[in-house]
A and B are shown apart, each in its own frame.
Chain A
Amino acid sequence: VLSLFSKLFSNKDSQRAESKNSAKSRLQFVLIQDRAGLNNEEIALFKKEMIEVIERYFVIDHDGFDISYEREGETTTLLINSPIVTKKAERNKYGVNQNTQKENKKDINIQGDIPLKTLTLSEAQKLSNQVSKEALSHAKESDAKDNSITQNQTSETKLTLEVTNDAQGVEAIKDEVQTEAVAASDTIIQNSPVKLPRNKHAENR
């Protein structure tokens, strides 16, 4: 009886449209701009160029592509979340072909669907470095030397790119790479330190 009561109350709550969700999503939107110090146009351009880079390697779902800025304590992390429809192609051991950077995505020769689990750490880092190089050129004050790539066990197909300003976090993720590199996975988390652009931007205002 008690749980029935509880259920009744909670159902009543959940049936209403909750305006706080609207507050939350609007806040998250403005905070991306505020924290990154980028305006609408710049964010749109960053998004477009990120998609271009990722699409050299993966077929992604544009609608699910999402950029967010998250802060935990004094660490600010740029999160780029991109659902992958299929993995695109193998290029020389799935690593990075010398020509790849010049190639348009249409020119990429799809040779097979090699699962990410066959990536070795060094290969993964190669891939990671290339993606991050372009990504970071858009993040002001970036420090790209600590890129790492990791794989998580997950049933979802998602590409997650994380740029953080916390060097310790990068080390932690690197450790994870070694232990999980052979695990079946569809998620790439790219982690790279970035000096808080929001602060610099804020100072300049």
Chain B
Amino acid sequence: MGLQNPQQNGSKSDHGEVIVVTSGKGGVGKTTTTATLGSALALRGKRTLVIDADIGLRNLDVILGLENRIVFNLVDVAKGICKHTQALIKSKKNNNLFLLPASQTDDKDVINEDDFQKVLNHYRREFHYIIVDSPAGIEQGFKNACAGADRAIVVTTPEVSAIRDADRVIGLLNARGIEGLIIVNRIDYDLVRKGDMLSIDDVRDILGVDILGIIEKDDSIIIAANTGEPVVYNPKSKAGRAFERIAARICGEQIPLRTGHGNSFWEKITRRLGV
């Protein structure tokens, strides 16, 4: 592809940083996070590759609206069926964003950690960031996705089952020497205020891990999934702004978390008025 060595924050070496997005539990927003964060990083001018490691159940392509362009996939690259550059699909919306899709017909066990590392090594020098969308669960697919990761994003929702699984995954990541940071997805501050949803502080206390970002429950994410256009392209989306802040943090900017915990009188009044 004839790319220069990327210069970037946060990485000690001249090659890009590999970030695995994982969760343990399914359906908490891993794929959406990967697609949206990848788009946000690309919009910041970072050359970004998103890899769908969910072999057999690929979805990152549809979330990015690239499903009709797939020719080769991750397994083809791993098995040497195609050149590593042939399998990449460039985003329609941003020249800095590329997708390496999963195979839809194979099984998760068709490649192992070594294969996955080799695939990563093809791309490391050509991208600032490589974001790997891990499958749910903690089996081979998860192990593959973690192979070669420099750090991890653990996506969770403020629910008992999701947090429990996140905790388990954090343990597995620690055992591999990978630092994990949390994205709390689908938080509903109305429910938090009523005491019917765990707060950001609760999640942080229970998991004992720092929070990288918070995504409020937001209908625009559903619309984005329908259209294949991640929320960062939607100027009205709160979630879009939240993902932009997360991307900035990944790039090393110090941006405080917005926890929606304001308890001042005026915040209460504005809430009351539904502003």
Residues of A within 8 A of B206 (CB): 24, 27-28, 31
Q: How far is the CB of A39 from chain B (nearest CB, A)?
A: 15
Q: Give the complex CA separation of A13 and B263 in angstroms.
A: 12
Asked if A196 contacts B174 (CB within 8 A), the reply is yes
Asked if A23 contacts B159 (CB within 8 A), the reply is yes
Chain B binding surface SS class = helix
Known: A2-B265, A35-B171, A198-B171. A13 touches B194 (CB 8 A): yes
Say yes or no: is B164 at the interface (Cβ < 8 Å to chain A).
Answer: yes
Q: Interface centre among B138, B167, B172, by most A CB within 10 Å?
A: B167
Which residues between 149 and 181 of chain B lie within 8 Å of chain A, taking CB atoms? 159-160, 163-164, 167-168, 170-172, 174-175
Among A67-75, A95-103, A113-121, A133-141, the stretch in contact with B: A67-75
Asked if B193 contacts A26 (CB within 8 A), the reply is no
Asked if B208 contacts A72 (CB within 8 A), the reply is yes
Asked if B164 contacts A19 (CB within 8 A), the reply is no
Q: Give the complex CA separation of A199 and B207 in angstroms.
A: 15
**Contact string, A1-23, partner B, CB cutoff 8 A, digits 1/0?**
01101100100010010111101
Count residues of chain B with CB under 8 A from any CB of chain A.
Answer: 29
Partner of A70, one of B159, B199, B208, B269: B208
Residues of B within 8 A of A196 (CB): 171, 174-175
Which residues between 48 and 96 of chain A lie within 8 Å of chain B, taking CB atoms? 70-74
Say yes or no: is B136 at the interface (Cβ < 8 Å to chain A).
Answer: no
Asked if B164 contacts A27 (CB within 8 A), the reply is yes
Say yes or no: is A30 at the interface (Cβ < 8 Å to chain B).
Answer: yes
Asked if B196 contacts A18 (CB within 8 A), the reply is yes
Residues of A within 8 A of B198 (CB): 20, 23-24
Count residues of chain A with CB under 8 A from any CB of chain B.
Answer: 32
Q: Give the complex CA separation of A119 and B48 in angstroms.
A: 61
Say yes or no: is A167 at the interface (Cβ < 8 Å to chain B).
Answer: no
Asked if B164 contacts A30 (CB within 8 A), the reply is yes
Name the residue on A nearest B206 (C-beta).
A27
Known: A13-B194, A34-B164. A199 touches B265 (CB 8 A): no
Say yes or no: is A203 at the interface (Cβ < 8 Å to chain B).
Answer: yes
Asked if A18 contacts B207 (CB within 8 A), the reply is no
Asked if A199 contacts B197 (CB within 8 A), the reply is no
Asked if A71 contacts B207 (CB within 8 A), the reply is yes
Say yes or no: is A45 at the interface (Cβ < 8 Å to chain B).
Answer: no
Partner of A16, one of B167, B194, B199, B265: B194
Residues of A within 8 A of B172 (CB): 199, 202-203
Known: A35-B171, A71-B208, A72-B208. A19 touches B163 (CB 8 A): no
Asked if A16 contacts B160 (CB within 8 A), the reply is no
Say yes or no: is B202 at the interface (Cβ < 8 Å to chain A).
Answer: yes
Q: How far is the CB of A122 from chain B (nearest CB, A)?
A: 34
Q: Give the complex CA separation of A196 and B168 in angstroms.
A: 13
Residues of A within 8 A of B196 (CB): 18-20
Known: A27-B164, A74-B174. A20 touches B208 (CB 8 A): no
Asked if B265 contacts A19 (CB within 8 A), the reply is no
Partner of B160, one of A9, A18, A27, A199: A27
Which residues between 258 and 275 of chain B lie within 8 Å of chain A, taking CB atoms? 265, 268-269, 272
Residues of B within 8 A of A70 (CB): 208
Residues of A within 8 A of B202 (CB): 20, 24
Asked if A13 contacts B193 (CB within 8 A), the reply is yes
Asked if B195 contacts A203 (CB within 8 A), the reply is no
Name the residue on B nearest A31 (C-beta).
B167
Asked if B207 contacts A20 (CB within 8 A), the reply is no
Q: Give the complex CA separation of A115 and B21 in angstroms.
A: 53
Q: Give the complex CA separation of A98 and B171 in angstroms.
A: 41
Say yes or no: is B250 at the interface (Cβ < 8 Å to chain A).
Answer: no
Partner of A199, one of B174, B194, B269: B174
Asked if B175 contacts A21 (CB within 8 A), the reply is no
Asked if A26 contacts B160 (CB within 8 A), the reply is yes
Asked if A202 contacts B175 (CB within 8 A), the reply is yes
Residues of A within 8 A of B268 (CB): 5-6, 9
Could you list 20 A-B pairs, sorted by A, with CB under 8 Å? A9-B268, A9-B272, A16-B195, A18-B194, A19-B196, A20-B202, A23-B160, A23-B198, A27-B163, A27-B206, A31-B164, A34-B164, A34-B167, A34-B171, A71-B170, A71-B207, A73-B209, A196-B175, A199-B172, A202-B168
